[in-house]
Amino acid sequence: MKILVCISHVPDTTSKINFTADNAAFDTNGVQYIINPYDEFVLAKAMHLKEELGASITVINVGTAETESSLRKAMAIGADEAIRINAKAIDGFFVAQQIAEIAKDNNYDLIFAGRESIDYNGGMVPGILATLLDCNFINACVGLELENTTVTAQREIDGGSETLQADFPLVIAGQKGLTEEKDLRIPNMRGIMMARKKALTVLEPIATESKTGSKGFEKPQENAACKMVAADDVQGLIDLLHNEAKVI
């Protein structure tokens, strides 16, 4: 079984978010980068399938040279090989097109991606990728079981979950729940040593027209200071919520 796992290289979850002087771009100064948390859940699931069923895992990222640390970490966790498409990730459609170009000739049975990245929150790469490949697609996947080439998966819906079935080839947009938090993988020394011998191939992107462009950023307005209410004045809070905030 061949599995492709698409990963993003994103600022750490606790990062303070700042922009360059003209608000044109994210200020990477002093920011630690990690594998997108949503992608960690799908990578752990792929590893589980590899261990249970002997799948091969290719991990792919669209990005410039600094993303290789995340690709190496994924290989240290157990991915067999990595591909970096040497291009800045302009937008989600661009990323999907680049990955589709690789996937179309490689007959992956399962393609995993995180549902969204915690930096741009586009939430579109898996869906566009599946559509470009004319392939089945399940979004917001919180559970997955395999029987031969049939997948039974749960997707999160508003207020519950839905159980779906689909055959290979299938694109899965995963999130927390696809694997348990406690089953997330941390690279060990052996994994890190072995990763050094694994192939990390850099490929040039295909030329495409960009469909969206970032014009700049803004930070939210500073909140007014919190209005404190005394612990023995619960009625005061109710009055504020009713008369001032008008939420009850």
Partner 1 sequence: MSVLVFAEVSEGKFKKNTLEVVSYGKKLAEQMGTHLTAFTINAETPSELASYGADKIVTLTNDALSSFDAQAIAALTAQIAQKEDAKVLIINSSANGAYLAPIIAGKLAAGYASNVVELPISTEPFVVKRKAFSNKAFQHTEISTDIKIIGLAKNAFGVFETPGKGEEETFSPELKRTGVTSISVQKASGKISIADAEIVVSGGRGLKGPEHWGLIEDLAAVLNAATACSKPVSDLGWRPHNEHVGQTGKPVASNLYIAIGVSGAIQHVAGINASKVKVVINTDPEAPFFKVADYGIVGDAFEVVPELIQKLQQFKTQNS
The minimum distance between CB 3 and partner 1, in angstroms, equals: 18
Q: How far apart are CA 61 and CA 77, in angstroms?
A: 16
The minimum distance between CB 221 and partner 1, in angstroms, equals: 10
Q: How far apart are CA 223 and CA 51, in angstroms?
A: 49
Give the interface segment with partner 1, choosing from 1-9, 42-50, 169-177, 198-206 (CB under 8 A).
169-177
- Strand locations in 36-149 (E): 56-63, 81-86, 110-114, 136-147
Q: Which of 67, 70, 98, 175 binds partner 1 (CB under 8 A)?
A: 175
- The token pair at 112 is 């995993």
| Binding status of residue 184 toward partner 1 by CB under 8 A | no
- The token pair at 178 is 């696809």
Restricted to residues 81-100, the positions that interact with partner 1 (CB under 8 A) are 91-93, 96
The minimum distance between CB 124 and partner 1, in angstroms, equals: 4
Q: Which of 149, 163, 188, 201 binds partner 1 (CB under 8 A)?
A: 163
Torsion of CA 129, 131, 133, 139, to 10 degrees: 60
| Binding status of residue 126 toward partner 1 by CB under 8 A | yes
Torsion of CA 171, 177, 178, 179, to 10 degrees: 150
Q: Which of 119, 146, 200, 203 binds partner 1 (CB under 8 A)?
A: 119
Q: How far apart are CA 112 and CA 170, in angstroms?
A: 8
Kind of pairing between the strands at 56-63 and 2-6 = parallel
What number of other Cβ atoms are within 10 A of residue 29's Cβ? 7
| Binding status of residue 137 toward partner 1 by CB under 8 A | yes
Restricted to residues 35-54, the positions that interact with partner 1 (CB under 8 A) are 37-38
| Binding status of residue 109 toward partner 1 by CB under 8 A | no
DSSP code of residue 154: E
Q: How far apart are CA 118 and CA 247, in angstroms?
A: 29
Residues 6+ apart with CB under 8 A from 223: none
- The token pair at 207 is 């030329």
The minimum distance between CB 74 and partner 1, in angstroms, equals: 18
Given the complex with partner 1, which of 80 and 101 has the nearer CB atom?
101
Given the complex with partner 1, which of 148 and 235 has the nearer CB atom?
235
| Binding status of residue 243 toward partner 1 by CB under 8 A | no
Restricted to residues 214-233, the positions that interact with partner 1 (CB under 8 A) are 214-220, 223-224, 226-231
Give the interface segment with partner 1, choosing from 50-58, 63-71, 101-109, 117-125 (CB under 8 A).
117-125
Give the interface segment with partner 1, choosing from 60-68, 74-82, 185-193, 204-212 (CB under 8 A).
204-212
| Binding status of residue 194 toward partner 1 by CB under 8 A | no
DSSP code of residue 240: I
